[in-house]
Structure 1
Amino acid sequence: MIFIIASILASTVFGLFFRLFDIFKVHGLTSIIINYFVACVFGFWFSKDSFVVASYIPQAWFPFACGLGLIFIGSLYVISVTTATIGVSVAQVANKMSMVIPALIAVMVYGNSLTIINILGIVLALVAVYLVSKKEIYANATPVNGVVKWLFPAIIFLCSGIIDSTINYVQRNVLGTSDTSSFISTIFLVAGIIGIIWLIVLKTQGKLPPLVSNTVLVGIALGLLNFATMFFLVEALNSNTFEPAVLFPVNNVSILILATLCSYVFFKEKLSPLNWLGIALSAVSIAMVSWS
């Protein structure tokens, strides 16, 4: 249970750190790429193995780590575009509702069992996610056509679901007990390398702002939190406290509740009656999904 709670706390603080970008004038993309390399270095330091990337290539989990690294940086780009053009709540809903993908796979492929109460809890969780995330239309959002309005959230939904499902598969079938840190670090390394290539392209186009200390400091903090988020999630799966069909909904909804309440307390974010209703339904849904 301790790993589940730690995963929820780390993920919540990680998400809240993005609120600091505007406050401290941080260049988001640069800070995020710094975060990947910090998470990678911290993971390799934390690993019981020696830091020899070449030794990881023959490992069965290496192709999965490379694929996840690509999806990490790609989905991040789509999330940033969606937030800027459609609104943060749309990106948030698409991201959190993806919990149904690993939950369904866990039931259909791995034989996880769900009661009627669990299933109703997952359905209620989806409603709660929508209500908690429903905000006023983003004032600075750029008008977009109908295709983009649906395509970008769909990509976020699929990418987030694929990430969680792949991590669950690797943890169950591929990863050794001592490989967790190496696997996670390789994901971040691949994402960071792709990010560096991205920055080089922006630099050649004259679109990259000067590097400032705030960008570096926030990137370092994000990196430590990002590694903790991934590490605790994998360890929560290892603990078998909950089956994956239950763990992912509980994890995602708990993060959303805690992040929303923290935004209300620390960032004075306004919550509508629908948002409060969503928070209440979220708590009920967690109890229903966790019911055994």
Structure 2
Amino acid sequence: MMNLVLSVCFSTSLFVIFKYFDRFKIDTLQAIVVNYVVAFVLGMASANAFGKLGTVPEQPWLLGAIFLGLLFVSIFFVMALTAQRNGVGVASIAGKMSLVVPILFGIVLYNESAGVLKLIGIIIALIAVYLSSVKEGKSGKGGNLIFPILLFLGSGVIDTTLKYVETNFVSQHDVDFFSGCLFGFAALFGILVLLGQLLVKRPKFQWKNLMAGIVLGIPNYYSIFFLIKALQNKNFESSELFTFNNVGVVILSTVVGVVLFKERLSKKNLIGVALAIIGIVLVANANG
């Protein structure tokens, strides 16, 4: 349970950091690439595995790590496009509602329980995510639905693939090494994108972008590290875990927004938070 709580806390901190990106005019792409490099180095240092890098091609999770690294970068850009063309509120909702994808795969692929109480709890949690995330007045801008749909599916595929690779190929003592390599491939793909941008736009490098990437990379690494550790807990089914994780991030992000950024909650948001708690209780007690 502690690994899940830590994953929720580190995931929530990412939203806080991104909030400050706008305030300090950070070049998001440059910071994101640096963040991946930092997460890679942190993973390798934690595992004391720099000497094992030559064994990466032999690892059973190699293809999964490459695929996830590419997804990390791709979905980030889809998220940015969704926010720009459809609004930040739509992007937030599409990303968080994606928890339905790994839940369904958990039930189908791993024969996880799908009792009435759990299904009701999951449905309530989905409604809660929407109500907690939606912002009144300036939430949406319309636009093409292709980007929200891609964000929804892509975020869900990331969680589902992470669960699949962890279950079948990652050993208990290999989490640090796998996590580091995962971010290493994301860094590689991100650097290629950044080089392409440099050839086309020639953006100016600023030291504040480097510092922002370092600040982002540390919690980003641990959000994935502790999520993988939580997935290895056999006392939780993935359908339960992803419900707890995503709804937990919604609740904590809402609280942080109110306390730290003085954000106002609408009646829908308050109802969403209340439903989120009810949904978690139902899912947690579904197998009791």
Q: Give TM class, smaller chain.
A: over 0.9
1:166 is aligned to 2:156: no
* Aligned match of 2:237: 243
* Aligned match of 1:193: 188
Give how far 1:211 is off: 2.3
Equivalent position SS for 1:204: helix
* Aligned match of 1:213: 207
CA RMSD across the alignment: 1.5
* Aligned match of 1:155: 150
Q: 2 CA distance for matches of 1:269 and 1:96?
A: 19
Q: 2 CA distance for matches of 1:215 and 1:92?
A: 23
Equivalent position SS for 2:170: coil
Matches within 5 A, 1:209-288: 210-288=204-282
Give how far 1:50 is off: 3.8
Q: 2 CA distance for matches of 1:275 and 1:97?
A: 15
Give how far 1:89 is off: 1.3
* Aligned match of 1:98: 98
- 1:204 alignment partner, one of 199, 211, 227: 199
Task: Note if contact 1:68-1:163 (Cα within 8 Å) is conserved in structure 2.
Answer: yes
Residue 173 to residue 81, structure 1, CA distance change in 2 (3 Å): same
Equivalent position SS for 1:60: coil
Give how far 1:241 is off: 3.3
Q: 2 CA distance for matches of 1:241 and 1:90?
A: 34
* Aligned match of 1:67: 67
Cα deviations across residues 111-149 of structure 1 (Å, max 9, x unaligned)? 11132111101001111111111113548x7763xxx2x
Cα deviations across residues 233-292 of structure 1 (Å, max 9, x unaligned)? 010111223111110011100101100110111111221111111111111111111113
1:119 partner letter: L
Which structure shows the bigger proportion of residues in helix conformation? 2
Q: 2 CA distance for matches of 1:23 and 1:49?
A: 37
* Aligned match of 2:41: 41
Q: Structure 1 unaligned segments of length 5 or more: list them.
A: none
Give how far 1:202 is off: 1.5
1:10 is aligned to 2:25: no
Cα deviations across residues 71-120 of structure 1 (Å, max 9, x unaligned)? 10000000011111111111111111111111111111111113211110
Identity %: 35
Give how far 1:186 is off: 1.4
Equivalent position SS for 1:161: helix
Task: Note if contact 1:86-1:138 (Cα within 8 Å) is conserved in structure 2.
Answer: no
Give how far 1:177 is off: 1.6
Q: 2 CA distance for matches of 1:186 and 1:137?
A: 42
- TM-score, with length taken from structure 2: 0.95
Matches within 5 A, 1:170-181: 170-181=165-176
Task: Note if contact 2:66-2:182 (Cα within 8 Å) is conserved in structure 1.
Answer: yes
